[in-house]
Protein backbone atom coordinates (compact mmCIF):
# COMPACT_ATOMS: atom_id res chain seq x y z
CA UNK A 1 0.00 0.00 0.00
CA UNK A 2 2.79 2.45 0.92
CA UNK A 3 4.79 1.64 -2.21
CA UNK A 4 1.75 2.14 -4.43
CA UNK A 5 1.18 5.57 -2.93
CA UNK A 6 4.83 6.52 -3.50
CA UNK A 7 4.60 5.64 -7.17
CA UNK A 8 2.21 8.44 -8.10
CA UNK A 9 3.96 11.18 -6.10
CA UNK A 10 6.92 11.69 -8.45
CA UNK A 11 4.82 11.84 -11.67
CA UNK A 12 2.39 14.24 -10.02
CA UNK A 13 5.24 16.44 -8.80
CA UNK A 14 6.86 16.37 -12.24
CA UNK A 15 3.62 17.54 -13.82
CA UNK A 16 3.20 20.36 -11.28
CA UNK A 17 6.80 21.55 -11.74
CA UNK A 18 6.33 21.39 -15.49
CA UNK A 19 3.23 23.60 -15.18
CA UNK A 20 5.26 26.08 -13.09
CA UNK A 21 7.93 26.21 -15.79
CA UNK A 22 5.32 26.74 -18.52
CA UNK A 23 3.67 29.52 -16.52
CA UNK A 24 7.00 31.23 -15.97
CA UNK A 25 7.88 31.07 -19.65
CA UNK A 26 4.40 32.18 -20.73
CA UNK A 27 4.17 35.23 -18.50
CA UNK A 28 7.80 36.36 -18.81
CA UNK A 29 8.49 35.58 -22.47
CA UNK A 30 5.20 35.66 -24.33
CA UNK A 31 3.16 38.14 -22.33
CA UNK A 32 6.25 39.97 -21.13
CA UNK A 33 4.50 40.87 -17.94
CA UNK A 34 5.43 40.65 -14.30
CA UNK A 35 1.96 39.96 -13.07
CA UNK A 36 1.83 37.69 -10.07
CA UNK A 37 1.42 34.11 -11.30
CA UNK A 38 3.57 32.43 -8.66
CA UNK A 39 0.64 31.59 -6.40
CA UNK A 40 0.44 28.28 -8.23
CA UNK A 41 4.04 27.56 -7.11
CA UNK A 42 2.81 26.97 -3.58
CA UNK A 43 0.95 23.83 -4.67
CA UNK A 44 4.06 21.73 -5.51
CA UNK A 45 6.06 23.42 -2.74
CA UNK A 46 3.57 22.44 -0.01
CA UNK A 47 2.92 18.97 -1.45
CA UNK A 48 6.65 18.23 -1.67
CA UNK A 49 7.16 19.35 1.94
CA UNK A 50 4.28 17.18 3.10
CA UNK A 51 5.33 14.13 1.13
CA UNK A 52 9.11 14.20 1.57
CA UNK A 53 9.48 16.62 4.48
CA UNK A 54 12.92 18.30 4.41
CA UNK A 55 13.90 16.54 1.22
CA UNK A 56 10.95 18.35 -0.33
CA UNK A 57 12.86 21.65 0.15
CA UNK A 58 14.58 20.83 -3.13
CA UNK A 59 11.35 21.67 -5.00
CA UNK A 60 11.05 25.06 -3.27
CA UNK A 61 14.70 25.87 -3.99
CA UNK A 62 14.29 24.84 -7.63
CA UNK A 63 11.23 27.05 -8.13
CA UNK A 64 12.91 29.97 -6.34
CA UNK A 65 15.94 29.64 -8.61
CA UNK A 66 13.62 29.30 -11.62
CA UNK A 67 11.88 32.57 -10.76
CA UNK A 68 15.14 34.50 -10.22
CA UNK A 69 16.84 32.96 -13.26
CA UNK A 70 13.84 33.82 -15.46
CA UNK A 71 14.05 37.46 -14.43
CA UNK A 72 17.77 37.60 -14.94
CA UNK A 73 17.81 35.87 -18.35
CA UNK A 74 14.49 37.09 -19.81
CA UNK A 75 13.39 40.29 -18.05
CA UNK A 76 16.46 41.53 -16.22
CA UNK A 77 15.30 45.11 -16.71
CA UNK A 78 12.18 44.57 -14.54
CA UNK A 79 13.57 42.48 -11.73
CA UNK A 80 12.11 43.74 -8.49
CA UNK A 81 12.82 43.20 -4.85
CA UNK A 82 9.49 41.42 -4.63
CA UNK A 83 10.80 38.60 -6.79
CA UNK A 84 13.63 37.93 -4.37
CA UNK A 85 11.21 38.12 -1.48
CA UNK A 86 8.89 35.64 -3.20
CA UNK A 87 11.79 33.24 -3.76
CA UNK A 88 12.73 33.50 -0.09
CA UNK A 89 9.11 32.97 0.94
CA UNK A 90 9.03 29.79 -1.17
CA UNK A 91 11.88 28.35 0.87
CA UNK A 92 10.55 29.57 4.21
CA UNK A 93 7.09 28.12 3.59
CA UNK A 94 8.59 24.83 2.45
CA UNK A 95 10.76 24.68 5.57
CA UNK A 96 7.84 25.42 7.91
CA UNK A 97 5.57 22.88 6.23
CA UNK A 98 8.36 20.25 6.23
CA UNK A 99 9.04 20.86 9.92
CA UNK A 100 5.38 20.62 10.82
CA UNK A 101 5.05 17.53 8.65
CA UNK A 102 7.95 15.89 10.47
CA UNK A 103 6.41 16.75 13.83
CA UNK A 104 3.05 15.31 12.76
CA UNK A 105 4.71 12.20 11.36
CA UNK A 106 6.70 11.64 14.54
CA UNK A 107 3.62 12.20 16.65
CA UNK A 108 1.68 9.74 14.52
CA UNK A 109 4.51 7.24 14.64
CA UNK A 110 4.68 7.61 18.40
CA UNK A 111 0.92 7.22 18.69
CA UNK A 112 0.96 4.12 16.48
CA UNK A 113 3.81 2.63 18.49
CA UNK A 114 2.07 3.28 21.81
CA UNK A 115 -1.14 1.82 20.44
CA UNK A 116 0.76 -1.28 19.38
CA UNK A 117 2.34 -1.56 22.84
CA UNK A 118 -1.08 -1.02 24.40
CA UNK A 119 -2.61 -3.80 22.27
CA UNK A 120 0.19 -6.09 23.36
CA UNK A 121 -0.48 -5.22 27.00
CA UNK A 122 -4.21 -5.83 26.54
CA UNK A 123 -3.37 -9.22 25.07
CA UNK A 124 -1.14 -9.92 28.07
CA UNK A 125 -3.97 -8.97 30.45
CA UNK A 126 -6.34 -11.31 28.62
CA UNK A 127 -3.65 -13.98 28.81
CA UNK A 128 -3.29 -13.41 32.58
CA UNK A 129 -7.03 -13.92 33.06
CA UNK A 130 -7.04 -17.38 31.46
CA UNK A 131 -3.50 -18.79 31.77
CA UNK A 132 -2.71 -20.58 35.03
CA UNK A 133 0.56 -22.23 34.04
CA UNK A 134 3.63 -20.20 35.01
CA UNK A 135 5.91 -21.16 32.12
CA UNK A 136 3.24 -20.74 29.45
CA UNK A 137 2.26 -17.38 30.95
CA UNK A 138 5.72 -15.80 30.64
CA UNK A 139 6.33 -17.30 27.19
CA UNK A 140 3.07 -16.03 25.73
CA UNK A 141 3.55 -12.66 27.45
CA UNK A 142 6.83 -12.21 25.56
CA UNK A 143 5.19 -13.21 22.28
CA UNK A 144 2.34 -10.74 22.80
CA UNK A 145 4.75 -7.87 23.48
CA UNK A 146 6.51 -8.27 20.12
CA UNK A 147 3.30 -8.89 18.23
CA UNK A 148 2.67 -6.28 15.49
CA UNK A 149 6.25 -5.05 16.08
CA UNK A 150 5.35 -3.27 19.31
CA UNK A 151 8.80 -4.30 20.55
CA UNK A 152 11.66 -5.85 18.62
CA UNK A 153 12.27 -8.50 21.28
CA UNK A 154 11.18 -9.32 24.81
CA UNK A 155 12.45 -11.68 27.49
CA UNK A 156 11.49 -12.55 31.05
CA UNK A 157 13.51 -14.27 33.75
CA UNK A 158 11.89 -15.61 36.91
CA UNK A 159 13.66 -15.70 40.26
CA UNK A 160 12.92 -17.35 43.60
CA UNK A 161 12.65 -15.51 46.91
CA UNK A 162 16.45 -15.59 47.26
CA UNK A 163 16.82 -14.23 43.71
CA UNK A 164 18.03 -17.51 42.39
CA UNK A 165 17.30 -18.37 38.76
CA UNK A 166 14.12 -20.39 38.12
CA UNK A 167 13.34 -20.16 34.41
CA UNK A 168 13.32 -17.76 31.47
CA UNK A 169 11.34 -17.10 28.30
CA UNK A 170 12.00 -14.99 25.20
CA UNK A 171 10.52 -13.88 21.90
CA UNK A 172 12.39 -12.30 19.00
CA UNK A 173 15.87 -13.41 20.10
CA UNK A 174 16.18 -17.13 19.37
CA UNK A 175 19.43 -19.00 19.98
CA UNK A 176 21.33 -15.83 20.92
CA UNK A 177 19.47 -15.88 24.24
CA UNK A 178 20.98 -19.23 25.31
CA UNK A 179 24.24 -17.73 26.70
CA UNK A 180 22.16 -15.36 28.84
CA UNK A 181 20.28 -18.31 30.36
CA UNK A 182 23.53 -20.16 31.11
CA UNK A 183 24.96 -17.01 32.69
CA UNK A 184 21.90 -16.57 34.95
CA UNK A 185 22.00 -20.24 35.95
CA UNK A 186 25.47 -19.56 37.34
CA UNK A 187 24.04 -16.69 39.36
CA UNK A 188 25.52 -14.04 37.07
CA UNK A 189 23.26 -11.21 35.91
CA UNK A 190 23.89 -8.43 33.41
CA UNK A 191 24.30 -4.89 34.68
CA UNK A 192 20.84 -3.82 33.52
CA UNK A 193 19.22 -6.76 35.33
CA UNK A 194 21.15 -6.02 38.52
CA UNK A 195 20.12 -2.36 38.35
CA UNK A 196 16.49 -3.30 37.74
CA UNK A 197 16.49 -5.64 40.74
CA UNK A 198 17.78 -2.88 42.99
CA UNK A 199 15.16 -0.29 42.05
CA UNK A 200 11.46 -0.16 41.33
CA UNK A 201 11.74 2.17 38.33
CA UNK A 202 12.64 1.66 34.68
CA UNK A 203 16.24 0.95 33.65
CA UNK A 204 16.81 2.27 30.13
CA UNK A 205 19.92 1.97 27.97
CA UNK A 206 19.57 4.02 24.78
CA UNK A 207 22.53 2.44 22.97
CA UNK A 208 23.09 -1.08 24.27
CA UNK A 209 25.78 -1.84 21.69
CA UNK A 210 27.96 1.01 22.95
CA UNK A 211 27.09 1.00 26.65
CA UNK A 212 26.97 -2.77 27.21
CA UNK A 213 29.47 -4.15 24.73
CA UNK A 214 30.09 -7.22 26.97
CA UNK A 215 26.39 -8.16 27.03
CA UNK A 216 25.64 -11.35 25.04
CA UNK A 217 22.63 -9.58 23.49
CA UNK A 218 24.49 -6.41 22.45
CA UNK A 219 24.74 -7.47 18.80
CA UNK A 220 20.95 -7.79 18.53
CA UNK A 221 20.34 -4.31 19.96
CA UNK A 222 22.01 -2.32 17.19
CA UNK A 223 20.09 0.93 16.78
CA UNK A 224 17.73 -0.11 19.55
CA UNK A 225 17.27 0.77 23.19
CA UNK A 226 16.93 -1.72 26.03
CA UNK A 227 14.28 -1.20 28.70
CA UNK A 228 14.31 -3.41 31.80
CA UNK A 229 11.97 -3.41 34.81
CA UNK A 230 11.53 -5.75 37.71
CA UNK A 231 8.26 -7.64 38.19
CA UNK A 232 7.12 -7.00 41.74
CA UNK A 233 3.94 -7.56 43.75
CA UNK A 234 3.34 -7.29 47.47
CA UNK A 235 7.02 -6.68 48.18
CA UNK A 236 8.06 -9.88 46.41
CA UNK A 237 10.25 -9.61 43.30
CA UNK A 238 9.34 -12.37 40.86
CA UNK A 239 11.92 -11.52 38.20
CA UNK A 240 12.59 -8.98 35.44
CA UNK A 241 11.02 -8.03 32.13
CA UNK A 242 13.28 -6.64 29.39
CA UNK A 243 12.37 -5.42 25.90
CA UNK A 244 14.19 -3.84 22.98
CA UNK A 245 12.38 -0.93 21.40
CA UNK A 246 13.13 1.93 18.97
CA UNK A 247 15.66 4.25 20.58
CA UNK A 248 13.57 7.34 19.91
CA UNK A 249 10.59 5.75 21.68
CA UNK A 250 12.33 4.26 24.69
CA UNK A 251 12.55 7.54 26.60
CA UNK A 252 8.84 8.21 26.23
CA UNK A 253 7.32 8.35 29.70
CA UNK A 254 4.03 6.80 28.55
CA UNK A 255 5.76 3.78 27.06
CA UNK A 256 7.76 3.33 30.25
CA UNK A 257 4.59 3.52 32.34
CA UNK A 258 2.91 0.94 30.12
CA UNK A 259 5.86 -1.45 30.42
CA UNK A 260 5.98 -0.98 34.19
CA UNK A 261 2.25 -1.65 34.35
CA UNK A 262 2.48 -4.88 32.37
CA UNK A 263 5.41 -6.00 34.56
CA UNK A 264 3.23 -5.44 37.63
CA UNK A 265 0.34 -7.32 36.01
CA UNK A 266 2.56 -10.31 35.24
CA UNK A 267 3.89 -10.27 38.82
CA UNK A 268 0.33 -10.24 40.13
CA UNK A 269 -0.54 -13.21 37.92
CA UNK A 270 2.55 -15.08 39.14
CA UNK A 271 1.48 -14.32 42.72
CA UNK A 272 -1.96 -15.82 42.04
CA UNK A 273 -0.38 -18.89 40.43
CA UNK A 274 1.85 -19.36 43.48
CA UNK A 275 -1.16 -19.12 45.80
CA UNK A 276 -3.09 -21.59 43.66
CA UNK A 277 -0.15 -24.03 43.62
CA UNK A 278 0.23 -23.67 47.39
CA UNK A 279 -3.50 -24.32 47.84
CA UNK A 280 -3.31 -27.43 45.69
CA UNK A 281 -0.26 -28.68 47.61
CA UNK A 282 -2.05 -28.03 50.91
CA UNK A 283 -5.16 -29.82 49.66
CA UNK A 284 -3.01 -32.73 48.52
CA UNK A 285 -1.22 -32.93 51.86
CA UNK A 286 -4.54 -32.68 53.72
CA UNK A 287 -6.03 -35.38 51.51
CA UNK A 288 -3.05 -37.69 52.15
CA UNK A 289 -3.20 -36.96 55.88
CA UNK A 290 -6.94 -37.65 55.92
CA UNK A 291 -6.45 -40.91 54.08
CA UNK A 292 -3.68 -41.95 56.48
CA UNK A 293 -5.80 -40.93 59.46
CA UNK A 294 -8.81 -42.82 58.15
CA UNK A 295 -6.62 -45.87 57.62
CA UNK A 296 -5.25 -45.63 61.16
CA UNK A 297 -8.77 -45.11 62.56
CA UNK A 298 -9.96 -48.13 60.62
CA UNK A 299 -7.06 -50.22 61.90
CA UNK A 300 -7.58 -49.00 65.46
CA UNK A 301 -11.32 -49.64 65.19
CA UNK A 302 -10.59 -53.19 64.16
CA UNK A 303 -8.17 -53.57 67.08
CA UNK A 304 -10.71 -52.18 69.53
CA UNK A 305 -13.42 -54.39 68.09
CA UNK A 306 -11.15 -57.38 68.51
CA UNK A 307 -10.36 -56.37 72.10
CA UNK A 308 -14.04 -55.75 72.80
CA UNK A 309 -14.98 -59.16 71.45
CA UNK A 310 -12.24 -60.80 73.50
CA UNK A 311 -13.26 -58.89 76.61
CA UNK A 312 -16.89 -59.83 76.05
CA UNK A 313 -15.81 -63.45 75.72
CA UNK A 314 -13.91 -63.27 79.03
CA UNK A 315 -16.84 -61.60 80.76
CA UNK A 316 -19.43 -64.05 79.56
CA UNK A 317 -17.23 -67.13 80.11
CA UNK A 318 -16.40 -66.26 83.75
CA UNK A 319 -18.50 -67.88 86.53
CA UNK A 320 -18.19 -64.66 88.58
CA UNK A 321 -20.19 -61.49 88.22
CA UNK A 322 -18.27 -59.12 85.89
CA UNK A 323 -18.45 -55.48 84.87
CA UNK A 324 -16.23 -52.92 83.10
CA UNK A 325 -15.55 -49.55 84.73
CA UNK A 326 -13.79 -46.43 83.49
CA UNK A 327 -11.30 -44.55 85.65
CA UNK A 328 -14.07 -42.25 86.93
CA UNK A 329 -15.90 -45.20 88.47
CA UNK A 330 -18.64 -45.32 85.85
CA UNK A 331 -19.99 -48.69 84.68
CA UNK A 332 -19.19 -49.31 81.03
CA UNK A 333 -20.41 -52.90 80.60
CA UNK A 334 -21.66 -55.90 82.64
CA UNK A 335 -22.18 -59.58 82.01
CA UNK A 336 -25.52 -61.38 81.87
CA UNK A 337 -24.91 -63.08 85.25
CA UNK A 338 -24.64 -59.73 87.00
CA UNK A 339 -27.78 -58.44 85.26
CA UNK A 340 -29.70 -61.45 86.45
CA UNK A 341 -28.30 -61.10 89.98
CA UNK A 342 -29.32 -57.46 90.44
CA UNK A 343 -32.48 -57.65 88.36
CA UNK A 344 -31.78 -54.51 86.29
CA UNK A 345 -31.42 -53.90 82.54
CA UNK A 346 -28.08 -53.15 80.93
CA UNK A 347 -29.29 -49.67 79.87
CA UNK A 348 -29.98 -48.66 83.48
CA UNK A 349 -26.59 -49.88 84.72
CA UNK A 350 -24.43 -48.44 81.92
CA UNK A 351 -23.16 -45.01 83.01
CA UNK A 352 -24.10 -45.36 86.69
CA UNK A 353 -21.52 -44.99 89.48
CA UNK A 354 -19.84 -48.00 91.08
CA UNK A 355 -19.56 -46.04 94.31
CA UNK A 356 -23.10 -47.14 95.10
CA UNK A 357 -21.60 -50.61 95.67
CA UNK A 358 -17.94 -49.97 96.59
CA UNK A 359 -16.43 -47.61 99.18
CA UNK A 360 -15.50 -44.44 97.29
CA UNK A 361 -12.19 -43.57 98.96
CA UNK A 362 -10.74 -47.08 98.79
CA UNK A 363 -12.04 -47.60 95.25
CA UNK A 364 -10.55 -44.32 93.96
CA UNK A 365 -7.20 -45.28 95.49
CA UNK A 366 -7.36 -48.68 93.82
CA UNK A 367 -8.27 -47.12 90.47
CA UNK A 368 -5.34 -44.70 90.76
CA UNK A 369 -2.94 -47.54 91.42
CA UNK A 370 -4.23 -49.49 88.44
CA UNK A 371 -4.58 -46.62 85.88
CA UNK A 372 -1.90 -44.14 86.90
CA UNK A 373 0.78 -46.26 88.58
CA UNK A 374 0.33 -49.34 86.42
CA UNK A 375 -0.32 -51.70 89.36
CA UNK A 376 -1.32 -55.19 88.29
CA UNK A 377 -1.67 -56.88 91.70
CA UNK A 378 -5.06 -57.93 93.05
CA UNK A 379 -6.80 -55.40 95.32
CA UNK A 380 -9.64 -56.64 97.50
CA UNK A 381 -12.53 -54.31 98.42
CA UNK A 382 -15.85 -54.86 100.20
CA UNK A 383 -18.82 -54.75 97.87
CA UNK A 384 -22.39 -54.01 98.92
CA UNK A 385 -24.86 -55.19 96.27
CA UNK A 386 -28.45 -54.10 96.90
CA UNK A 387 -30.51 -57.17 97.76
CA UNK A 388 -27.44 -59.45 97.82
CA UNK A 389 -25.66 -58.28 100.94
CA UNK A 390 -21.95 -57.57 101.41
CA UNK A 391 -19.31 -59.49 99.49
CA UNK A 392 -15.71 -59.08 98.40
CA UNK A 393 -14.36 -58.01 95.00
CA UNK A 394 -10.83 -58.37 93.71
CA UNK A 395 -9.35 -55.73 91.33
CA UNK A 396 -6.58 -56.77 88.91
CA UNK A 397 -5.15 -55.82 85.51
CA UNK A 398 -6.84 -57.29 82.47
CA UNK A 399 -4.57 -59.58 80.45
CA UNK A 400 -5.49 -57.71 77.20
CA UNK A 401 -4.51 -54.21 76.10
CA UNK A 402 -5.14 -51.44 78.62
CA UNK A 403 -8.10 -53.06 80.42
CA UNK A 404 -8.24 -54.12 84.07
CA UNK A 405 -10.15 -56.86 85.84
CA UNK A 406 -11.98 -56.89 89.15
CA UNK A 407 -12.52 -60.56 89.89
CA UNK A 408 -15.92 -61.39 91.41
CA UNK A 409 -17.91 -58.76 89.58
CA UNK A 410 -15.67 -55.94 88.33
CA UNK A 411 -13.30 -55.25 85.39
CA UNK A 412 -11.63 -51.86 85.04
CA UNK A 413 -10.66 -50.21 81.80
CA UNK A 414 -10.27 -46.80 80.26
Q: Which of 16-20, 268-272, 351-355, 381-385 is predicted most confidently?
A: 268-272
Residue 165 domain-assigned? yes
Residue that terminates a domain, selected from 222, 252, 278: 278
Which of the residue ranges 75-84, 367-376, 399-408 would you say has the lowest mean pLDDT? Answer: 399-408
Confidence of residue 168 (pLDDT cuts 50, 70, 90): very high
pLDDT (average), residues 39-43: 82
Among residues 156, 259, 121, 145, which one has the least CA distance to residue 202? Answer: 259
- Pair (42, 177) in one structural domain: no
pLDDT (average), residues 390-399: 64
Burial class (CB in 10 A: 0-12, 13-18, 19+), 214: exposed
Q: What is the DSSP string of 154-167?
A: EEEEEE-TT--EEE
Quote the pLDDT of residue 406: 43
pLDDT (average), residues 138-154: 81
Residue that terminates a domain, selected from 259, 278, 297: 278
- Pair (93, 180) in one structural domain: no
d(CA 60, CA 67): 11
CATH of the domain at 343: 3.30.450.20
Residue 306 domain-assigned? no
Confidence of residue 403 (pLDDT cuts 50, 70, 90): very low
d(CA 283, CA 303): 30
In terms of residue numbers, what domain contains 261? 131-278
- Pair (136, 173) in one structural domain: yes
- Pair (137, 249) in one structural domain: yes
Residues 6 or more apart whose CB falls under 8 angstroms from that of 90 comprise 41, 42, 45, 60, 61, 63, 64, 67
Residue 287 domain-assigned? no
- Pair (210, 336) in one structural domain: no
d(CA 179, CA 183): 6
Percent of the chain predicted with pLDDT > 90: 7
**pLDDT tens-digit map of 234-278:** 889 999 999 888 777 667 777 788 788 888 888 988 998 888 888
Residue 309 domain-assigned? no
Domain count, the chain: 3
- Global model pTM greater than 0.85: no
- Pair (138, 191) in one structural domain: yes
Residues 6 or more apart whose CB falls under 8 angstroms from that of 115 comprise none
Residue 292 domain-assigned? no
pLDDT (average), residues 187-208: 85
- Pair (91, 172) in one structural domain: no
Residue 212 reports pLDDT greater than 90: no
Residue 117 domain-assigned? no
Quote the pLDDT of residue 230: 92
Residues 6 or more apart whose CB falls under 8 angstroms from that of 97 comprise 45, 46, 49, 50, 56
**pLDDT tens-digit map of 77-128:** 555 667 778 788 888 888 888 888 888 777 777 677 667 666 666 767 777 7
Residue 119 domain-assigned? no
**pLDDT tens-digit map of 349-364:** 888 887 777 788 887 7
Edge-to-edge strands of the sheet including 165-171? Answer: 165-171, 153-159, 236-246, 224-233, 203-205
Amino acid sequence: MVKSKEKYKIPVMAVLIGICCVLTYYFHTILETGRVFTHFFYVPIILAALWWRRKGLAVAIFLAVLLIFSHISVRDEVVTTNDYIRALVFIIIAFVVATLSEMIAKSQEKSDHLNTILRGIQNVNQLIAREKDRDRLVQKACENLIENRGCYSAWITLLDENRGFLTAAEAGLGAVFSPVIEMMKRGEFSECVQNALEQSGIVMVEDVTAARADCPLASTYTGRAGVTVRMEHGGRVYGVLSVSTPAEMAADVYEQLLLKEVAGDIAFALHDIELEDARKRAEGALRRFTEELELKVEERTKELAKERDYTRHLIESSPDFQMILNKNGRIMDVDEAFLCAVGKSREKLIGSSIYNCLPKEATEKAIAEIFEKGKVRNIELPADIPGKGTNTTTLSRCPTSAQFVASFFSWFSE
